[in-house]
Amino acid sequence: MASRKKIPKNARLPSAPLAEVVFELRWALHQGPAPGSIMNFDPMLIPLLHNFSAAMEEAKFSHSVDLAHPLQTGPYGVVRRYLKNPESPFPIMQVGAGIFATNESAQYEWKTYKAQILEGIKLLVNSYPTSFGFSLQPNYLELRYIDVFDKTVLRSSDFFRFTETGTSLKFNLPQFLENHQIFWGEAAGRFLFQRSLRGKKESLFRVELASAQSSATKENIVQLESKVTTAGVGVPVFRNTRSFVAEISKWLEFAHGVTSPFFKGFILPDVMTKFKRP
């Protein structure tokens, strides 16, 4: 496993819009009691939790939090989260009914995060019980970035002013919608883009830019979610740990090779400079 840079406790948090990055791997579940049932389940979930928890302990993710009872968790629901210690909320490993995920926050750095993902996957596939007639069949991969922008870094979190001054995405609004005699306050908005990716079957790139408001603070923020997903035949088949981890490593570089240049081209340099200012 690549070594993770040890960041001292008094190291400052990087100043950047990235709030969270999530990797997900999902696998096929056993069909529920009737065709089309929503009660699909993983018959290996309980022994998987036992094995994976022991593996997490060895990997120094020794603090765990149960979110739900494994028998009361629906398909792809997270059952347990693992932390290095209770004071450090990130990084996190998560496992549930047909799902593994690992998250990082502001201290994200690609090489370290990729190593974290591969370590988690290796421990997951080695923990998954075999010889019981139900095998691990991964069927979904996702690499997702969440960035948040508010008035602290931009003068306005009006959706269209943000896109105009902070991004390379431009809207040409009809004059009527900018008529101050008819409208007041900041405009909210939502932009959704989705397109198939070349290079990997059943792979999509999706961008979701949306404004949101807190009823408590009455402040608007703009959230950017960008992700690469691969499903079905595009997901590597699990045959053995070594080859599967190698294939996931290639997939991660493929996904990061889309999300990273997208972000650099989408958010204008002026916005990133404002994050750095004290």
- Which residues, numbered 131-150, are part of the site for another protein (CB under 8 A)? 144, 146, 148-150
- Which residues, numbered 161-220, are part of the site for another protein (CB under 8 A)? 187-190, 192, 194-196, 202-204, 206, 208, 210-219
Pattern of binders to another protein over 17-36, x per CB under 8 A?
x-xx-x-x-x----------
> Cβ-count burial of 251 within 10 angstroms (0-12 exposed, 13-18 middle, 19+ buried)?
buried
Which one among 29, 44, 45, 92 touches another protein, defined by CB under 8 A? 92
Element (DSSP H or E) covering residue 145: strand 138-150
Pattern of binders to another protein over 215-244, x per CB under 8 A?
xxxxx-x-x-x---xxxx-x----------
Q: How far apart are CA 247 and CA 236, in angstroms?
A: 6
Binding region for another protein (CB under 8 A) out of 82-90, 171-179, 237-245, 256-264 = 82-90
How many other CB atoms are found less than 10 A from the CB of residue 34? 8
Q: What three-state secondary structure class fits 267?
A: strand
Residue 247 found at the interface with another protein (CB under 8 A) = no
CB of 206 to another protein, least distance (A): 6
Residue type, 14: P
Our measurement of the distance from residue 265's CA atom to the centroid of its chain's CA atoms, rounded to an integer in Å, reads 20
Q: Which residue has the tokens 């007639």?
A: 133
